[in-house]
């Protein structure tokens, strides 16, 4: 956030062929900061010489400083008519155009001032700001450096340089700039705000919190700083403190939508989905933002009382509010309609990193048949990691779009000649659905990441399977045409860290331990009730829950209270927060005999991980895709007998398996090999099926005139 600049009088450096404005006493008075005297003198000069360039310039500057922008423009142009070689007037006109949202015109005036010898730090800084506003960061950075060379103590140039570097992704250099600003002007709170944001992005939440707190000591009426502080505290697991600061931000700016969004995320992490939805709806009411609206849609998938029809209606509302297709309807794509040629497939995702989606896209990128498809990855990844580097090595064309606008990405996809663009996020965090709304490719598909319809008319297809989306139930609930993959819609690659399989812990302890590592939003009151009944039916049994949100003491206390109200005493419940190392996370499965899948929103990666670690999973088939993913996975690995059709059968399956030590041991020791030989991990078979579907969709498009969506 850039502080609104105070326009200052400019220094005269040049004599033109017309009357030299530097001889004007009004200009000298303005330069000295004597605004009232300069204005009075300029009136006197204009009385004697109506075309006095210096006096007209002073009048224009006074009008500009008073916010009289139209009059300022008239006066400054009259000054130029009187003396077109007066660089100060071009600088003032550049500032005027910047103020009125015309940066391209501002740049022309600034460059003219430079050509006339007006090479001041102020001019280079303001020219940099105009270039930055047009996304020309490299050129802007050059002018900020020039401003600093001319005036090393010019703190605003250091600040603006930091902003430009951060926008260009050079966060370490940006942080250095903000530190320099704080050194030069310790009370400049906006430098602390921006430095805090960098620390937050880098995962150094303690430093981020310190920066925001110092900023608020300087200015305690800034809602943005309170909300940023809340965000850093939420990331650090300090949910109560985060909620408090969100509410402080709202108390200062009742219509500040980001604070409502942040409040919704805090509630979501605590498993308070009703409160989360209310906060997201309030944020959308204040500011119809597509990302906040996606937060709402994702959260609506958790409560059983929200029907698929309600989610469908809200998805269509998202499309109506936020989809901004290109002009003139569907594009005339240059892609050649050759049914059998090699296809260009683009995968777009914010999750090409250490994320659950990586477990399912990695084997696909690796196994694609390059003679059939040319693979592009559009990575909207703000914090790349080793997984990012690994995935980048699996594709021919890697595009970092993290700093690109949606229209820029759409143009990039068009230049690359992508035939089929695949969304891997849906309405999850960091999605780029507006890129798809721009109809970036002839064919667009959504897959993975999100368990429901996007609602976008511009996305023609969705990959699924007959178990997750039975034909007789699902088709009317999607804006996309469903493409059911014969081999299942998932292809799993376990983490390279593979702790060995050990016997069920109950063999030695005699105590059955149930477990779930799913997000707290999935553990609804109905799930707690059913799990409590299962624990009551298995004497001495225990339940181990693991989730990041449980690191927060208040959240853990609330869940203990809910389980206690359902009859589960504290000694039978173990709550764990997030562990730092992946091997530690997987190692916790050694302590679980049987995993319980939540409903109506099943686990996906957690289910695959449990099976890989030898832990059988009991799942309940629901009435929508999110509630049938467990059944789909079990179908792929040949464990359909662990799929229940109602809560009563779910209870019975968990009970019978928990009391059958031989069956538990048999499954435990054989599940990893079962997965290895199942279609869930038959990567080559899956990719062949996937590519066949791409080809079928492509042939259909080649034979059509324009319409992207049809019947599958």
CA distance 450 to 427: 6
pLDDT at 414: 96
Q: Which residue ranges make up each domain of the chain?
A: 21-218, 257-322, 343-484, 506-679
Measured in whole angstroms, how far is the alpha carbon of residue 653 from the centre of its chain? 39
* Length reported for the chain: 712
Q: Tell me the sheet residues that pair with 204.
A: none
In contact, 102 and 95? CB cutoff 8 Å: no
Q: How many CB atoms lie within 10 A of CB 471?
A: 9
Q: Tell me the sheet residues that pair with 378.
A: 348, 399
Which among 421, 347, 416, 412 has a CA at the least distance from the CA of 378?
347
pTM of the model as a whole: 0.87
420 SS3 class: strand
For the segment(s) 21-218, the CATH number from 1.10.260.40, 2.40.50.140, 1.10.150.570, 1.25.40.10 is 1.25.40.10
Region 257-322: CATH code:
1.25.40.10
The radius of gyration computed from the CA coordinates of the chain, to the nearest angstrom, equals 31
Both tokens of residue 172? Answer: 């370490």
Which among 112, 24, 3, 521 has a CA at the least distance from the CA of 12?
24
234 SS3 class: helix
Residue numbers in the chain where pLDDT is lower than 50 = 1-17, 327-330, 707-712
DSSP class of residue 326 equals: P
Look at the domain 506-679 and name its fold. Answer: Rossmann fold (3.40.50)
Q: Calculate helix-pair angle for 257-269, 239-252, nearest 10 degrees.
A: 160
The two domains 343-484 and 506-679 share their CATH topology (first three levels equal): yes
In contact, 426 and 454? CB cutoff 8 Å: yes
- Quickly tell me which residue has 């500040």 as its tokens: 256
H-helix segments, 323-405: 358-367, 386-392
pLDDT at 370: 97
- 354-374 pLDDT, tens digit per residue, is 999 999 999 999 999 999 999
Q: Calculate helix-pair angle for 661-676, 605-612, nearest 10 degrees.
A: 110
In contact, 20 and 57? CB cutoff 8 Å: no
CA distance 10 to 464: 65
- 286-339 pLDDT, tens digit per residue, is 999 999 999 999 999 999 999 999 999 999 999 999 876 554 344 679 999 999
Question: In the chain, how many H helices and how many E strands?
Answer: 32, 13
pLDDT at 325: 55
pLDDT at 19: 58
pLDDT at 14: 35
Q: Tell me the sheet residues that pair with 482.
A: 462
In contact, 9 and 61? CB cutoff 8 Å: yes
CA distance 551 to 571: 18
Both tokens of residue 26? Answer: 């009004």
Look at the domain 343-484 and name its fold. Answer: Rossmann fold (3.40.50)
CA distance 345 to 366: 14
The DSSP string of 442-483 is SEEEE-SS-SS----TT--EEEE-TTTS-HHHHGGG-SSEEE
Both tokens of residue 313? Answer: 């209606």
pLDDT at 117: 87
CA distance 669 to 28: 89
Q: Characterise 419 by phi-psi region: left (phi > 0), alpha (psi -120 to 50), beta (else).
A: alpha
DSSP class of residue 597 equals: -
397 half-sphere exposure, CB direction, 13 A CA radius: 18
Strand (E) or helix (H) holding 217: helix 205-218
């Amino acid at each position: 956030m850039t502080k609104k600049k105070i326009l200052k009088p400019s220094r005269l450096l040049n004599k033109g062929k017309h009357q030299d404005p530097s001889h004007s006493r009004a200009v000298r008075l303005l330069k000295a900061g004597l605004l009232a005297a300069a204005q009075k003198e300029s009136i006197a000069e204009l009385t004697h010489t109506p075309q006095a360039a210096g006096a007209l310039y002073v009048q224009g500057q006074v009008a500009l400083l008073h916010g009289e922008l139209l009059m300022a423009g008239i006066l400054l142009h009259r000054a130029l008519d009187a003396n077109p070689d007066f660089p100060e007037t071009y600088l003032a006109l550049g500032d005027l155009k910047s103020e009125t949202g015309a940066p391209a015109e501002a740049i022309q005036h600034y460059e003219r001032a430079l050509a006339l010898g007006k090479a001041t730090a102020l001019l280079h800084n303001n020219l940099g700001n105009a270039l930055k506003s047009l996304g020309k960061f490299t050129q802007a950075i050059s002018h900020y450096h020039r401003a600093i060379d001319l005036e090393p103590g010019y703190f605003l140039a250091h600040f603006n340089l930091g902003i430009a570097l951060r926008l260009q992704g050079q966060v370490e250099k940006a942080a250095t700039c903000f530190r320099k600003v704080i050194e030069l002007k310790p009370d400049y709170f906006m430098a602390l705000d921006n430095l805090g944001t960098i620390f937050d992005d880098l995962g150094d939440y303690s430093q981020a919190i310190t920066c925001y707190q110092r900023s608020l000591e300087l200015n305690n009426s800034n809602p943005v700083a309170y909300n940023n502080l809340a965000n850093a505290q939420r990331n650090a697991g300090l949910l109560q403190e985060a909620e408090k600061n969100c509410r402080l931000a709202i108390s200062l700016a009742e219509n500040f939508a980001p604070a409502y969004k942040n409040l919704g995320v805090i509630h979501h992490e605590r498993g308070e989905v009703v409160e989360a939805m209310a906060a997201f709806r309030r944020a959308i009411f204040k500011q119809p933002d597509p990302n906040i609206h996606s937060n709402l849609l994702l959260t609506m998938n958790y409560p059983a009382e929200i029907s698929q029809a309600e989610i469908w209606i809200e998805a269509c509302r998202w499309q109506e509010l936020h989809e901004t297709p290109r002009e003139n309807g569907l594009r005339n794509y240059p892609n050649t309609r050759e049914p059998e040629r090699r296809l260009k497939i683009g995968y777009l995702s914010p999750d090409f990193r250490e994320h659950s989606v990586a477990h399912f896209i990695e084997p696909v990128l690796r196994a694609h048949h390059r003679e059939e498809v040319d693979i592009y990855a559009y990575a909207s990844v703000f914090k790349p990691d080793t997984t990012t580097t690994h995935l980048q090595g699996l594709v021919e064309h890697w595009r970092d779009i993290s700093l690109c606008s949606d229209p820029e990405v759409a143009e990039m996809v068009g230049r690359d000649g992508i035939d089929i663009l695949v969304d891997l996020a849906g309405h999850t965090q960091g999605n780029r659905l507006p890129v798809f709304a721009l109809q970036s490719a002839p064919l667009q598909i959504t897959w993975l990441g999100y368990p429901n319809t996007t609602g976008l008319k511009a996305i023609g297809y969705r990959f699924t399977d007959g178990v997750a989306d039975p034909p007789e139930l699902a088709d009317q609930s999607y804006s996309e045409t469903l493409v059911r993959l014969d081999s299942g819609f998932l292809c799993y690659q376990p983490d390279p860290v593979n702790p060995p399989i050990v016997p069920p812990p109950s063999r030695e302890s005699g105590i059955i331990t149930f477990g779930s590592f799913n997000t707290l939003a999935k553990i609804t009151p109905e799930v707690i009730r059913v799990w409590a009944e299962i624990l009551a039916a298995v004497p001495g049994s225990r339940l181990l829950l693991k989730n990041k949100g449980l690191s927060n003491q208040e959240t853990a206390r609330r869940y203990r209270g809910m389980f206690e109200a359902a009859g589960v005493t504290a000694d039978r419940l173990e709550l764990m927060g997030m562990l730092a190392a992946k091997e530690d996370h997987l190692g916790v499965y050694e302590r679980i005999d049987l995993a319980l899948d939540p409903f109506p929103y099943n686990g996906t990666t957690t289910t695959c991980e449990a099976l890989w670690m030898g832990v059988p999973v009991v799942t309940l088939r629901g009435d929508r895709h999110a509630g049938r993913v467990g059944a789909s996975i079990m179908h792929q690995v040949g464990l359909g007998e662990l799929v229940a059709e109602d809560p009563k059968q779910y209870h019975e399956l968990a009970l019978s398996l928990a009391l059958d030590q031989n069956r538990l041991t048999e499954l435990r020791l054989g599940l990893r090999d079962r997965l290895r030989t199942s279609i869930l991990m038959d990567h080559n078979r899956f990719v062949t099926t996937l590519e066949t579907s791409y080809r079928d969709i492509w042939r259909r498009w080649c034979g059509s005139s324009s319409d992207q969506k049809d019947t599958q």
